[in-house]
Structure 1
């Protein structure tokens, strides 16, 4: 039995442009569970997931409720981790045998207080705005807003993950045969109160889910990191007539290409990091293709032993 980390992309619970209703999220959780249930039965599996739309909605709800003080982002991340984890856990449980345990673990991840991300917020969260709406929201709430395609969205700091507090607990659960849902939304951002006071405090930031998943896969000794997204592979010249889907490539060969920072870029970076650090392979694929991609039949495999780059 191998050990695999599967990072679910934004399409796990909410597709772009889809209304953020509980019914839609529940339906998408069921699709994810159906895609991953077989893997959970045969491998030690950790499932991570994004939370950008959900944490953005909670932050907006806090702003609209003027009767109470706004909750910080670390608390909102923990709320989304519980909500999304609950949905995935329940839908998986409705497919897997009753005796197969599934655990959603609220996961704290330490970040560096000197991380340059705090000086340059760049992580998109929440709803889309027009230019005029974005200006009004920034003025009213003190938010930083940036362009995301044809719209504007709120951005917050996204420091790199340093240490996963619950690593040992995750390993214990895997060794007992449980499927673990952890590090949702990149984990709850925390840091030491001061250089001499090692008590943990929350941080007003969000951690990139793919980089957190990569760190988790490395520290628990995963045999494979799977990054499931809404495209079936990593493409060169995406959207152009000559676009090509990569089937197999080394992490060094990937350095020759550039990928969008707000979408495929972090996924490629995480795959490269994992492959280089561990000598194991990383896979980027569509959610429904996860089992086939692990068998190297679909998706993009990033492997230091890949040899010459091949295409679909």
Structure 2
């Protein structure tokens, strides 16, 4: 990899946090994070100032199951607490794995994790129409029991029912300044994991809410606040596809904001998967970022250089 001295934000997808089959046992999570950090370490060793963010869906799902199974013994904790706990857990895994990978390359660089809050609007329409599925599938009888407790659940057909929560738009990454200070001091920083802990401002104070902020949209906001030149969303595919699942399917290589927005408006990108990733790279580039990419985890170094994945660059 060629030398790179700019500031880069890497958003790690679920494939960097769990085993290939999606399992989230402690050993599987450690192994997945260790493998991901090998690629990040290469980028750091090439001279880049790197900040990381990550998903936390499987980890939060595990905590929700514990909540449900142990509700008769200990009080369940709210969803914003689950987000904070998983930010810290994944952050420590990343710190340990990245420090080992850097040491193996003869690189000395401190790594820090910042438990991060994300401000959202209490009037966001997502609260009135929750659509973000979280946790595992349950039979209808279990879903009815939790619905009676005030939760929103949705049927997913033969697979069962899942809880759905609001996914409000991120307004501000409240702790981005702390992350920026650490990056400027030479740290590799992990921040805004899982989109950040969602909070609203009410009566002059911040309050956690039962919601999940999309991690890729939060990553775009964090990248801008950190002054990142480049943002890479690492996922389980090498390219964004237009016409996905149809005879007209094709990979997008180097593209423009205009083309992506036209394809998005035509429904080419699913709302629960590729749609937010596309919206995130558009927000980053339209907000002043130099280059954004969506690609597979093993090609993030090439994506930073504009040589792999779906690449969008700021139009001069």
TM-score, normalising length from structure 1? 0.91
- Separation in structure 2 between the aligned mates of residue 23 and residue 110 of structure 1, nearest angstrom: 33
Aligned with 1:90 (options 90, 93, 96): 96
Structure 2 match to 1:144 = 152
1:282 alignment counterpart:
292
User: Which consecutive unaligned segments of at least 5 residues does structure 2 have?
Assistant: none
| Superposition RMSD in Å | 1.7
Match of 1:299 in 2: 309
- What is the deviation of 1:192? 1.6
> Which whole-Å deviations, capped at 9, do the CAs of 1:50-90 have from their partners, x for residues lacking one?
01111121012111102122101111001111111111111
Q: How does 1:93-104 map to 2 (within 5 A)?
A: 93-97=99-103, 99-104=108-113
Alignment of 1:5 with 2:9, yes or no, is: yes
Greater shift, 200-209 or 145-154, is seen at 145-154
Paired residues of 2:19 and 2:31 also in contact (CA < 8 A): no
Cα deviation for residue 149 of structure 1 reads 8.5
CA contact (8 A) 1:63 1:141 kept: no
1:170 aligns with 2:175: no
Superposed CA offset, 1:177-229 (max 9, x none): 100000000001112232xx2x2111111110001000001112110111000
Q: Write the mapping of 1:42-61 to structure 2, written as runs, cut at 5 A.
A: 42-61=47-66
Q: 1:72 aligns with which of 44, 58, 78?
A: 78
| Secondary structure of 1:177's aligned partner | coil
Q: Distance in 1 between matches of 2:82 and 2:289?
A: 35
Deviation at residue 150 of structure 1 after TM alignment: 6.4
Q: Secondary structure at the match of 2:210?
A: coil
- Inter-partner Cα distance in structure 1 for 2:142 and 2:219: 32
Residues of 2 paired with 1:44 and 1:294: CA distance? 12
Residues in 1 aligned to 2:63 and 2:278: alpha-carbon distance in whole angstroms: 29
1:153: Cα distance to partner?
2.6
Whether 2:25 is the aligned partner of 1:25: answer no
Determine if the alignment matches structure 1 residue 34 to structure 2 residue 44. no
Distance in 1, Cα, partners of 2:164 & 2:109: 39
**In the TM superposition, what whole-angstrom CA distance separates every residue of 1:147-171 from its partner, at most 9, and x where no partner exists?**
5586343211111111122121111
Query: Deviations along 1:13-61, whole A, 9 cap, x unmatched?
Result: 1257432210111110011101110212311111000011111210121
Give the unaligned 5+ runs of structure 1. 307-312
Give deviations 1:223-245, integer Å, cap 9, x for gaps: 01110000101011223344211
> Which residue of structure 1 lines up, in the alignment, with residue 214 of structure 2?
208
Q: Describe the shift of the 1:149–1:244 C-alpha distance in structure 2 as closer, same or farther (beyond 3 A).
A: farther
Match of 1:126 in 2: 135
Aligned residues: 299
Q: Whole-Å Cα distance in 2 between the matches of residues 255 and 19 of structure 1?
A: 34
* Contact 1:52-1:124 at 8 Å conserved across structures: no
Give the equivalent residue in structure 2 for 1:157. Answer: 166
Displacement of 1:256 in angstroms is 1.8
| SS, match of residue 305 in structure 1 | coil
Structure 1 segments, 4+ long, off by >4 Å, are 147-150
Per-residue Cα deviation, 1:234-291 (whole angstroms, up to 9, x for no partner): 0112233442111111111112212100100000000111111115221000000000
Alignment check: 8 A CA contact 1:54 1:126 kept: no
Distance 2:156 2:55 in 1: 17
